[in-house]
Amino acid sequence: GQNIDQPTEMTATEGAIVQINCTYQTSGFNGLFWYQQHAGEAPTFLSYNVLDGLEEKGRFSSFLSRSKGYSYLLLKELQMKDSASYLCAVRSNYGGSQGNLIFGKGTKLSVKP
Amino acid sequence: KAGVTQTPRYLIKTRGQQVTLSCSPISGHRSVSWYQQTPGQGLQFLFEYFSETQRNKGNFPGRFSGRQFSNSRSEMNVSTLELGDSALYLCASSFEGANLYTQYFGPGTRLTVL
């Protein structure tokens, strides 16, 4: 089966660091994506991992362990504008579903002053 | 470069009607994928079109269909609307096939079925 789990909600303080975890079980794996989605807006691409390890992009970093079916998104120096939902998505390479993204339900992050 | 655009942004329909949504990909992108987003199910894949051909299809009934034109613009159609079809419909484009390239999302069309 296909399953992606991430926490439903998280709260953090402005200026702090927060880690959003994602575990997955999918038929086939061809990369893991993180998207940010503000309420009422389109998901915007944050990061992509296909090999194990850490990818850093400014205040955002994403980690992948394929053997553990695990990823996390790390947000540093949190700002109020980081309050949003963070979506973990796995790209399948299985049979007729190649290319489509399988999404978790998203983690709603609230940044408090 | 302009992003993915979707029209209309909001739509209200009644049960039994049909609806057509439109998506224009980023210039130069040839693949368009459609997703349905609801609070209960999250984002779910509908189908992907590449070079005017449907490449992949998710687990949705045949009432959901789509097509892609030679300029890569895509439309999706939902016939015989049901209350449960109320959702945000997102399209995403990628440079070539979605199996190889990052997908970029449009702002979505919010469909309400009464």
Q: Mean of the pLDDT values across residues B19-42?
A: 94
Q: How do residues B78-109 score in pLDDT, each as one tens digit?
A: 999 999 999 999 999 999 877 778 899 999 99
Q: How do residues A71-100 score in pLDDT, each as one tens digit?
A: 999 999 999 999 999 999 999 876 655 678
Q: In the structure, how many helices (H) and strands (E) does chain B have?
A: 0, 11
Q: Write the CB contacts of B61 (distance below 8 Å, at least 6 apart in sequence).
A: none
Per the CB < 8 Å rule, is A42 touching B4? yes
Q: How do residues B38-91 score in pLDDT, each as one tens digit?
A: 988 899 999 999 999 998 888 899 999 999 999 999 999 999 999 999 999 999
Q: Write the CB contacts of B6 (distance below 8 Å, at least 6 apart in sequence).
A: B21, B22, B23, B24, B89, B90, B91, B106, B107, B108, B109
Per the CB < 8 Å rule, is A42 touching B48? no
Evaluated on CA atoms B72, A48, A108, B47, the torsion sign reads positive
Instruction: Give the closest of B98, B102, B108 to A100, CB-based.
Output: B98
Q: Is A2 on the interface with B (CB under 8 A)?
A: no
What is the per-residue pLDDT for A92?
80
What is the per-residue pLDDT for A27?
78
Q: Is A33 on the interface with B (CB under 8 A)?
A: yes
Instruction: Give the closest of A89, A99, A104 to B99, CB-based.
Output: A99
Q: Work out whether strand B64-68 and strand B53-57 pair parallel, antiparallel, or are unpaired.
A: unpaired
